[in-house]
Amino acid sequence: MFFGNSLPFNPEQDIPSLAGKVILVTGANIGLGKQCVLEYARHQPSLIWLAARTLDKAQTAADEIRQQLEVKNTPTIKPLAMDLSSLSSVTTAARTVVAESSRLDILMLNAGIMAAPPGLTSDGYELQFGTNYIGHALFTKLLLPILEKTAATIPDADVRIVSLSSHGHVYAPKEGVLFDTLRTDAESLGAYGRYGQSKLAIILWTRQMARKYPQFTLASIHPGVVRTNLMNNATGSPWVIRLLGMVANKVVTPVDQGVKNQLWASVARDVKSGEYYEPVGIGGATDAEGRGRCAGCEGVGMDGEGAAGV
């Protein structure tokens, strides 16, 4: 996809000083998440939590980022283990953050999987829905006390929650989120139907949360077609996957450019809370399901409730 009306955004120039701020990025050991940490670190926040599935992966990424930084005073980059497909892991991670941070200014819900084979999380949810939506929804719910404290007590606080959705939400079932599939492997939906359903849920959850928590600025975004490892575990015809990979290497956006939309949503002044944005800063781009006009769209719950059942 090509976005001719994209807003100009240069992370080096357009990310303001982040002095004193605390930031958390999920899925930050690779791809867009890792690039986010690198770009944020150049603007001197107080602390960046780098979340990855294992502590070793998070620590390795943090060390690599420090080596790339040219700033003299490297901000603290703290590794955090969190497996989004396990609610107990998510709970442990959230408790660690709340116990060790006095504030949280930017929560970047970046991690996700795409077109994975049929499967269930350790808690019995459809794998893509459980990883992409439920894990993040629970994580945010558990971090609400520190997010609310930051918004209420820090002068000129600007608390942001940015969630990576996808233009792929259009592949969700036409009825919207099919709640009776969420405790199954939803094999009948196909890999991209399951993926689209999880990404539609993120858009709807973001809109709901923006209504309930006006003290925060929330946005869901599509990063564009970016050269990451997201399709490494994609299911489908092997030759189709190989072909897509070869084409992607020639036409897709490199990570340092593809990261711009989520960075923009996390710092720009003109972000409308609850909106879904395509690159860079283009709002109003969802279909009817993404705007909540479908029978299966109600009930994707605030604070990780409703569809998530958590």
Q: Is 125 a catalytic residue?
A: no
Sign, CA dihedral 302-285-283-15, equals positive
Q: Is 50 exposed, middle or buried (0-12, 13-18, 19+ CB in 10 A)?
A: buried
* Extents of the domains making up the chain: 11-296
Catalytic residue among 40, 199, 260, 276: 199
Rounded distance, CA 250 to CA 265, Å? 27
Token pair listed for 134: 């439920």
In the prediction, which pLDDT does 226 show? 65
Read off the pLDDT of each residue in 300-304 and give the average, rounded to a whole number.
Answer: 48
Task: Tell which wins on pLDDT, 45 or 226.
Answer: 45
73 pLDDT band, cuts 50/70/90, is confident
Residue-wise pLDDT tens digits, 214-258: 999 999 999 988 655 554 455 555 554 454 445 444 557 899 999
> Residue for token digits 């604070």?
303
Residue-wise pLDDT tens digits, 267-276: 999 999 999 9
Residue 302 reports pLDDT greater than 90: no
The answer to whether 304 and 140 have CB atoms below 8 angstroms apart is: yes
Instruction: Find the range with the poorest average confidence among 65-79, 177-191, 280-294.
Output: 280-294
Q: Which CATH superfamily, name and number, covers 11-296?
A: NAD(P)-binding Rossmann-like Domain (3.40.50.720)
Q: What is the pTM of this model?
A: 0.88
Catalytic residue among 133, 195, 213, 276: 195
Q: Which residues contact 269 (CB under 8 A, 6 or more apart)?
A: none
Neighbours of 193 (CB within 10 A): 19
Task: Tell which wins on pLDDT, 250 or 266.
Answer: 266
Q: Is 149 a catalytic residue?
A: no
